Amino acid sequence: GDRTRSLCLDSMEKAAKRDCATELTRVYSTPIGPLKLVANAEGICTVKFLFGKQQSSPRDDGSHEVIGQKGSGKDTKHTSHSQGSVPSDTASPEERKALGHLEVCINWLDAYFDGSLLKLSPPKPPLVFPTEGTFFHTVWSTLASTGVGERLSYGELAKLSGNPKAARAVGQAVKKHSLPILVPCHRVVKSGGEVGNYSGGEGCDTKQWLLKHEKRMVLSST
């Protein structure tokens, strides 16, 4: 209810004030535009859609056009040495852990976007949520555990998260998290089956692309 949502938001605001220790970044090109990946020694703490000249235009047939860099993170080494990124040979122990999480994340994203995720089952990197022990955390963890190609409503996600009456709070949690794709909020749709809104990339077009891409992945794995 309103009290649950208020407590979650208050806890989240407090957590946002905490520093995330040493953070390293990578810029990773995808069919739906470049992603900024941010990691610390604990895991991946941010995945952010970047806007600008490298933004791509997702197409219904699964093809794509990325202005600037093309291909996957593995093939073209889409790295950024800004905002704390360092060469591995001079990295501190914490930085080496962060670099390792970024490599795991890139390998997982490679498999996701080239359609081999279900066949290869690469490990997903540990995820760092901005809040611990809250209902939002439960929602994000539950959503992260959903399978490729699954779709569920806000009410269904609330039920799976342990509070069937908290669909509105679930909606806030879906909007607030900072790990799109790894925490697949694009799989949450309206109860009537409509795709609904999406705040990442190019909005609904990006959400549609992700859902269709996952449907193709499921079909190709059977």
Catalogue the active-site residues. Answer: 185
Distances (CA, A) of 101 to 46, 105, 188: 12, 6, 26
| Amino acid residing at 13 | E
For 156, residues 6+ apart whose C-beta sits below 8 A from its C-beta are none
Place of tokens 């309103």: 2
- Measure the CA–CA gap between 98 and 84, rounded to whole angstroms: 11
